Structure 1
Amino acid sequence: MDRLVKAEAKEVEVIFSKGQKCSSSFKLTNLMHTMSVAVSLTTTNPSLFSINKPFSTIPPLSSASYILHLSHTSDQPPLSDPPNAITVRATMLPTGKATADHLRRLFSRPGPHVFRDAVLTISLVGPHVAEYLLSQTRQPRNLFTKAISACTKSQLTRLLKPAVEHGSADAVSELLDAGADATATAESLMPPAIRAGSLDVVKLLKASGCEIEKSVLHEAAATDRIDVMEFLLERCDDELEVDSMDSEGRTPIHVAAREGHVRVIQFCVSMGGNPNFADSKGWTPLHYAAWKGHLKAVECLLECSNVKYVKDREGRTAFCVAAEREHSAVRTRLVDLLGWGDTLMRAARVDDVQGVKRCLGEGASVNGRDQNGWSPLHWAAFKGRIKSVKVLLEHGAEVDTVDDAGYTPLHCAAEAGHLQVAVFLISHGASQPNLKSFPHLAAHPLHLLDSFQNQVSLPSKSKTLV
């Protein structure tokens, strides 16, 4: 004979609830036709699990019910690997009756008369178990699948939010397959999915019909997730626009600028986004980048927008916002980019020597560049402002710095016919160009041109200076 009793199931499921006493019932059936059977039930962890009838007698072909108790209340399910179990042992009982002490003695003597009929796995199930598993770094998929098997549809739907917030694509997939409804949640699950950083979860929710709010692109911009933005714009082109605005009038570019995500700014602009938008308080993306001190974002926005001098509702430009920051190397560079650099360029052009000195004293970069790559020295040389040239060189200006077309300040001075400036630059180490390239110098006395020695050629591509 293989066994004396049979369990109605191979496992006992206990629905776990936080801080509550938990129990579950199970049933054993005597397979003997004419003889009673004595049964002994033990658990692998007696301090945690107990059974109401550890020893009992089952009449022939009859069944008996038992209750498994979780002995202690807890906020966390006592999961174990391998799981706890109930061992069922049985022996024939010819007399049909026996006291508890007699049965205890009977099973205390191992031998061929005692059969090990079954081992029943103890499974903790229910939404509280699922929630606990979601909070763990490692989520055994089989345990999670078992835990949600005892959940109702509404419980499955409520579990979607923590699963999404933890970025668990496997858990979200399991819940949706089990019947969770992504469209029945109080608020859209897409924003927390994006914040969790899981594109797979975003895809699962989109496929399940989850509501797409306009703010999803803002969430993706805030977390530097270009992949999510690409997916959403591709799949939701009728619902989303790259320049969608939140309640404050901010676009995803505003958000990316605030967080310093240069790649997102570039992506949005490449998709047709407008970096010149001002929000409800008059702030452009450049204001936000300057306010947060994101130097790279400021540089990026200066290249793709024209809002450098746009004022907010309080009359402040991005330069003003940057100037309000505490003193730091970043502040100095920001102020240079947004304000003093421009002022220095203007001062060099008009030969305002005091203005040049003031700008340099405020932290403007003596070698800063404008949109064409011209430094202050380029402008002073091109305009023939010898005094400004001297001050700039005294403050460390690079004499041979080149613009976007390869021109140096000496090239600019020579092309504009400013011989005095050209000679001064050469005396300070500037490389000398080929005189044939500068017809404006032909009218000057030959003895003055002798200073141009060791000639070098201009860049091959001619530049029109205005």
Structure 2
Amino acid sequence: MAPPRPPPARGGRRPPPKSAPLRPEEELLLEAASDGDLVLFKRLARMMDGGRGRVTEAVEAVVECTAGALHLAAGQGELAMCRYLVEELRVDINAIHDGGETPLAYAINGANIATVKYLLDHGADPDKVDDKGFTSLHIAAEEGYCNIVELLLSRGASVDALSNRGTPLHLAATNGHHQTVKILLDHNADCNKIVNGVYTPLLVSIYAPSLKCVKLLIQAGADVNGVGNITPLIAAVGLTECMKCLLEAGADPNVPDEFGRMPIEFAAICGTREDVEILFPLTSRIPSVRDWSVNGIICHAYSLPGQKFYERGLERDTTSLKFQGRKALERKD
């Protein structure tokens, strides 16, 4: 009887591929890049080149778990190392290894805004995607890095780029980053973009749950009735303030889920009497409910098939619910 709660959440990115073991000098080279040790890095690079005059090729050939020297330097915010690699060796600033991330993505994951700016200034592509369709803006939005989000948008990043888990707006809303949601909406992000056939930014903000994101999305014109049978109103049962916002914005309380169950029935099952009382005057009479009253609906709900299973489901913690929802969303990967 439980209402479906499958929020797109962080996860679902494949583990790094297994690579051939690095030689000791190669391991030292990557460590030097990560540490910003230019003296050691240059010495190792020359040694590995062996006098062929192809230092750049030698450096670019060293990769571990999808990361090369520039990735690691960018991730640690080692600007001097990045300058040497980009301006002197001219390594590929947009390199992606085995479907992994770009150096720009590493800089964002490390929250190094100065490095992000440097890479963008020197030709990093903010719309370069990994094997899941993630761009740099997806990563910044998912983490709620507002300054980086604004910087990427100012450099032409696509605000509605679509990954396997939605747009940057989906990811910001999923994690309740309301400030990031506002920035994206101010840059005309599509508040009704659908991923995997049903998930809108509004729906995932309810699953988060984030009342601030819900309000921002409604103000931006989000469709409060959603698509299909997993409606925002059904998802908001048990979240009274979210439910009130949806109803005030015109959400229809008479739209059932795919099994014909109404929002008021879910409210009764959840034991949220206040929600039942709010929905009661707005809900059309359900023929199967003999006593059409608040108490009658609550009694009816507890007699529905599968009720005991649902009660046990309510005992699961939020982390478990989000994990199961994440796996449901990732089935289409």
TM-score (norm 1): 0.42
- 2:203, 2:231 within 8 Å by CA — same for their partners in 1? yes
Relative distance call for 1:148 and 1:279 in structure 2 (3 A) is same
Q: Counterpart of 2:113?
A: 169
What's the % identity of the aligned pairs? 19
Q: Does 1:132 align with 2:72?
A: yes
Q: Counterpart of 1:252?
A: 201
Q: Given the alignment, which residue of 10, 18, 31 partners 1:77?
A: 31
Q: Counterpart of 2:158?
A: 211
SS of corresponding position for 2:206:
helix
Q: Does 1:285 align with 2:225?
A: no
Instruction: Tell me, in whole angstroms, the C-alpha distance in 1 between the residues paired with 2:216 and 2:137.
Output: 21
Q: Counterpart of 1:109?
A: none
SS of corresponding position for 2:142:
helix
Relative distance call for 1:122 and 1:83 in structure 2 (3 A) is farther
Q: Does 1:193 align with 2:132?
A: no
Q: Does 1:230 align with 2:175?
A: no
Q: Counterpart of 2:308?
A: none
- Structure number with bigger Rg: 1
More helix by share: 2
- 2:128, 2:136 within 8 Å by CA — same for their partners in 1? no
Instruction: Considering Cα pairs closer than 8 Å and 6+ residues apart, tell me whether 1 or 2 has the greater RCO.
Output: 2
Instruction: Tell me, in whole angstroms, the C-alpha distance in 1 between the residues paired with 2:36 and 2:255.
Output: 66
Instruction: Tell me, in whole angstroms, the C-alpha distance in 1 between the residues paired with 2:36 and 2:190.
Output: 51
SS of corresponding position for 1:310:
coil
- 2:108, 2:148 within 8 Å by CA — same for their partners in 1? yes
Q: Which runs of 5+ in 2 are unaligned?
A: 1-19, 46-58, 61-66, 97-101, 162-166, 285-289, 302-333
User: What letter is aligned with 2:190?
Assistant: E
More strand by share: 1
Task: After superposition, give the CA deviation of every residue in 1:22-45 in whole Å (9 maximum; x if it has no partner).
Answer: 4xxxxxxxxxxxxxxxxxxxxxxx
SS of corresponding position for 1:77:
helix
User: What letter is aligned with 1:232?
Assistant: L
SS of corresponding position for 1:250:
coil
User: What letter is aligned with 2:227?
Assistant: D
- 1:19-418 map, 5 Å: 19-22=22-25, 73=27, 77-78=31-32, 83=37, 128-136=68-76, 139-149=77-87, 150-155=89-94, 158-185=102-129, 187=133, 188-213=135-160, 215-235=167-187, 237=188, 240-275=189-224, 277-280=225-228, 282-290=229-237, 293-323=238-268, 331-333=270-272, 335-338=273-276, 342=280
Q: Counterpart of 2:314?
A: none
Relative distance call for 1:75 and 1:303 in structure 2 (3 A) is farther
Q: CA deviation at 1:298?
A: 2.8
SS of corresponding position for 1:315:
coil
Relative distance call for 1:306 and 1:336 in structure 2 (3 A) is same
Relative distance call for 1:258 and 1:210 in structure 2 (3 A) is same
User: What letter is aligned with 1:177?
Assistant: D
Q: Which runs of 5+ in 1 are unaligned?
A: 1-16, 23-69, 87-119, 325-330, 347-351, 364-466
User: What letter is aligned with 2:198?
Assistant: G
Relative distance call for 1:262 and 1:283 in structure 2 (3 A) is same
Relative distance call for 1:190 and 1:74 in structure 2 (3 A) is same
Instruction: Tell me, in whole angstroms, the C-alpha distance in 2 between the residues paired with 1:165 and 1:178.
Output: 19
- 1:156, 1:175 within 8 Å by CA — same for their partners in 2? no
SS of corresponding position for 2:31:
coil
Q: Counterpart of 1:14?
A: none
User: What letter is aligned with 2:149?
Assistant: V
Q: Counterpart of 1:400?
A: none
Alpha carbon RMSD of aligned pairs, Å?
4.4
Relative distance call for 1:79 and 1:172 in structure 2 (3 A) is closer
Relative distance call for 1:176 and 1:311 in structure 2 (3 A) is same
Q: CA deviation at 1:269?
A: 1.8
Instruction: Tell me, in whole angstroms, the C-alpha distance in 1 between the residues paired with 2:279 and 2:178.
Output: 33
SS of corresponding position for 2:234:
helix
Instruction: Tell me, in whole angstroms, the C-alpha distance in 1 between the residues paired with 2:275 and 2:203.
Output: 19
